[in-house]
Amino acid sequence: MASHRRPAAPSRTRTRISALTVVAATSVGLATQSAQAAPQPSTSQLKSQLDQLNGQADKAIEAYNQAQAQQQQLQQKVSILQDEIARNQAKANQLLDSVGAIAQSQYASGAVDPTVQLMLTSNPGEFLQKASSMNQLTSNEASQLNQLQAEEDTLAKEKAEAEQELQALQALTQKAQALKNSAAAKVKATQKLLDSATASQRTALVGGTGSNLHYGGAAGDSIEAAAFAAAQTKIGSPYHWGSTGPSEFDCSGFMMWSYEQAGYQLGRDTYAQMGDGTPVASVSDLRVGDLVFFNGGEHVGMYAGNGIVLHAPHTGAVVRYESISTIGSIYMMRHI
């Protein structure tokens, strides 16, 4: 009969080795996790990254705004051309009816003039190439035929121009879409960075409304004073790229909206706005309501006096006052 034996109990030495192996494996695992977990960047590091992203986003957004404004202008031009073509086509149709009446009259008399026959072909313009036959018509009939030819020529030119404009519009639309995608990617990266920050860091990065800053000074002319007064009513409104108000704004959209309230039409983007008004030589010459452009023209704010600007800063922030020295390098100053 086979004997049944209990398995030998593990020795203390083996037990100790197994325990040490587990501890060692756990330590290695924790060390690996620690190595993989990136340390939280400091507020100053995040601020530097945010400034860089905001600069890139401003550039992409204003390029998109510029393309969008050009697209709208081109679309308006195409629409005007199309309306003009429609009006001239109607005039040409009326003249063709007159030519038809001439032919009908001549047919009733038993002979249709060769020139009229030519006008009723698929290519009415050919009649001018046979001007010698025009003396067979009355002066009134000849005048109508000449007018028809002129309308046909005008229509041909307008249709060719409209075709070119439509092609340009299509190319610009594609460019605007690419710029929009680029701007959206920059904004998304900015928001991701803000989301990675702690609550206290986010407060430091985004800031408040700047209500603790002391602004003031002599207002500019009535347009600037009215624009500044309108801008002040939007303090605390959120920044949103591509927006022109009345509840959300990007930097140039905020300037555009504020001056619209004063009855003045600014361009849509910073690059267009830099062409408005007259240059200001130095900060000391700035007046309340003047436009101040930063970082190569990629950002714009409104001067509020005492070295303060009122602007829509960037993603995550709200319309606020801010020291002119903290925004970036001044590129241009304009008095509207």
Answer whether 306's CB lies under 8 Å from 325's CB: no
Q: Is 4 within a domain?
A: no
Q: Tell me, yes or no, whether 54 and 158 share the same domain.
A: yes
Q: Tell me, yes or no, whether 183 and 281 share the same domain.
A: no
Q: Which two tokens stand for residue 300?
A: 């714009």
pLDDT along the chain (336 residues), means of 10: 49 44 42 54 85 87 88 82 79 69 56 52 50 53 71 78 81 85 88 88 83 71 90 96 95 98 96 95 94 96 96 94 94 94
Q: Tell me, yes or no, whether 245 and 180 share the same domain.
A: no
What pLDDT does 73 receive?
83
Domain that holds residue 75: 46-196
What pLDDT does 25 receive?
44
Domain boundary among 196, 220, 237: 196
Domain harbouring 233, CATH code:
3.90.1720.10
What pLDDT does 83 receive?
83
Note the maximum CA span of the chain. Answer: 140
Q: Tell me, yes or no, whether 60 and 192 share the same domain.
A: yes
Q: Which of 214, 299, 314, 335 is catalytic?
A: 299
Q: Tell me, yes or no, whether 172 and 281 share the same domain.
A: no
Q: Which of 4, 240, 311, 335 is catalytic?
A: 311
Q: Tell me, yes or no, whether 182 and 220 share the same domain.
A: no
For 280-299, give one letter per residue: b (16+ CB within 10 A) or e. beeeeebbbbbbbbbbebbb
- Going by the DSSP 8-state scheme, the letter that residue 18 receives in this structure is H
What pLDDT does 68 receive?
85
- Report the number of distinct structural domains present in the chain: 2
Domain harbouring 162, CATH code:
1.10.287
Q: Is 157 within a domain?
A: yes
What pLDDT does 232 receive?
95
Residue 214 annotated among the catalytic residues of the structure: no
What pLDDT does 242 receive?
92
Residue 251 annotated among the catalytic residues of the structure: yes
Q: What's the CA gap between 114 and 127, in Å, rounded?
A: 9
Q: Tell me, yes or no, whether 73 and 128 share the same domain.
A: yes
Task: List the one residue out of 336, 335, 207 whose CA is nearest residue 264.
Answer: 336
Q: What's the CA gap between 190 and 205, in Å, rounded?
A: 11
Give the bridge partners for 309, in sequence order.
Answer: 303, 322
Q: Tell me, yes or no, whether 161 and 237 share the same domain.
A: no
Q: Is 177 within a domain?
A: yes
Answer whether 305's CB lies under 8 Å from 216's CB: yes
Q: Which of 4, 214, 240, 251 is catalytic?
A: 251
Residue 4 annotated among the catalytic residues of the structure: no
Q: Is 20 within a domain?
A: no
Give the bridge partners for 238, in sequence order.
Answer: 318
